[in-house]
Structure formats: C-alpha cells, structure tokens
Amino acid sequence: MSRSSSSAMRYGLILWVLLMGLMPSAQAARNHHHHAVASDPSSMALLSSTALVIDQTTQQVVFSKNPDPIHPIASITKLMTALVVLESAQDLNEQIAVSDEDVDTLRFTRSHLRVGVHASRLDFLRMALIASENRAASALGRSYPGGIHAFVERMNAEAARLGMTSTHFEDSSGLNGNNVSTAHDLAILVQAAMQYPLIHEITTTASISVPVGFRGRPIVFRNTNPLVAKPDWDIGLSKTGFINESGQCLVMQATISGHPMVIVLLDSRGKHARIGDANRVRKWLEAHSQVTVGQL
C-alpha cells in the first residue's frame, strides 16, 4: 500500500469517527425539537396507571400516560352529581333528609349521617364534595324530581351533552363500580364543573362544620384531598375517589407556573399514591414550564 493511500485511509477513518460523534447530538436536537415536553411516562415514575395533564388555555395535552382505558371512577362521580344539581337549578336552601335508601348496602361504607338527619341541599352538596359523603350524594340524587332513576338519567344525558362519549353512570355516589369514564372524559367534566364558582369554592375548602350530629352537634367534615390546605398549591377544583375496582383517583384543576392545568390521575395504588403523583406532576410541570405551552 502506498503512503498516499495509507494517509487517505487514516483521514477517512478520522472523518468517520468525527461524524459518528456528531450524529447522536444531531439526533438529540431533532428529538428535542419534536418533543419539547417529554412524553415518556417513566420521566415522572407515576404510581397511577393512567395520567393526563392538559393545559386549560390551549387545550393541549402536555403529559399523558395510558390515557385511553375506561376506568371505574368511584367518587369522582360526585362532580357530575353536583353539576346536575346546579344545572337543574334545585333549591339549595331546601331541607332534605337521609333515608334508609341512602344507606350503603353494596360496600357497607361508614357515614357520619344518621338516617333521619336533616340539612339543606347546599350542606349535602358540601358534604358530598368535600368529605365524599356517600349518603349525602345519594340523598341529592334521591331528592331530585322523579327520584334517583331520573337523576341518573340526567347524569348520563349531561355526560352525552358534554361529549363524554366513554362515560356511564349508575348512581350518584360512585359506590357502583359500573360508573366508568376515561381520563379525557374526566378532563371535560373538570372543565365543565369549573364553570360553577360554587363547585370551585366547595371543592377547595379544607373543612366544614355541619350540625348533623346527635341533637344537632356540629360534625367536622375534612377535604379528602389534603393539598387544598397547602398554601403553595393554587387549586381551582379537586375531587378524589376510591373503591377497590378504581384504585385511588384524583382530578384537579390547578394553576402551576402561571398556567391553568387539568390533572387526571386514575388507578393509583397505595394510600398516599395519588397525592404523591400530584406533587410529582407539579414538579415536572414547573421544571418544564418554559417548554410546555405552545411547543408541542
């Protein structure tokens, strides 16, 4: 082999090594351009099997993890219950009472509300949304004109009107495992419920005291989402849910880094998993705040 040929080979080899070194960086730059916000669910290591985060201003999905399956939604149902009560303009000052029909004979959940206790429809709404009181939600549905069956029909009609095409309800509390929806449908529900200042006010209240105990003794009902009491969170709406079939669920509207976000977390396993996931989502959004909006 001539000296010139040998030099040419060495030059070619050096050039090939340099090009190989540059290619990963170029590929990384292309990937960054097309995926300004990481879509890999492992980047947050969420415990929820389904997660969806939507920028409410642009309606863009900024994060998703397995968002399409239809899940039981447990007490997230109570958001639709509240929506129907308010949409139908029922008298919030009317006194309603807990009856035997409101006692949970499906899962035998406990309740602070004794059969026969009276309160205003507004207080029943507060107890259902803040503390996820099942008897309160049942009484709200039962006291609707036409009773619980008419109320559930209205719930399903409202879901259809909103475009929640994969959603179905069979009760007003969420104890029925056949109350199902998807993350995308629940994002629609959250935004519809946000149109009511009263739902915003109630669901972001840390606790209330209602005189529904023995001989009118006040009972304190605490919010099932402890994040609403945290001053570093700016939450506009919140609702939790849990039955065995659904796992731990949480839907929220929250302003993070100046952007209103809808967060849906479904089927999280572990008592505090959904709250941990909400904090992980917030940290992730704060870290990506410069690239989440308008760059997907």
If one counts every other C-beta atom within 10 angstroms of the C-beta of residue 270, the result is 12
pTM over 0.95: no
Highest mean predicted confidence (pLDDT) among 70-74, 107-111, 268-272: 70-74
CATH of 40-287, one of 3.40.710.10, 3.40.50.2300, 3.90.330.10, 1.10.1740.10: 3.40.710.10
Residues noted as catalytic: 75, 78, 132
Q: Looking at the DSSP assignment, which residues form a beta bridge with residue 240?
A: 250
Dihedral over Cα of 187, 90, 177, 168: its sign: negative
Environment class of residue 155 by beta-carbon count within 10 Å: exposed (0-12), middle (13-18) or buried (19+)?
buried
Q: Is residue 254 packed enough to be buried (19+ CB in 10 Å), middle (13-18) or exposed (0-12)?
A: buried
Strand bridging mode 118-120 / 95-97:
antiparallel
pLDDT at 16 exceeding the cut of 60:
no
Largest interatomic CA distance in the chain: 107
Distance between CA atoms of 157 and 74, rounded to whole angstroms? 19
DSSP state of 268: E
Give the per-residue SS3 of 25-78: HHHHHHHHHHCCCCCCHHHCCCCEEEEEEEECCCCEEEEEECCCCCEECHHHHH
Q: Is 250 a residue whose pLDDT tops 80?
A: yes
Which has more pLDDT, 20 or 59? Answer: 59
Comparison of pLDDT for 293 and 279, the residue scoring more: 279
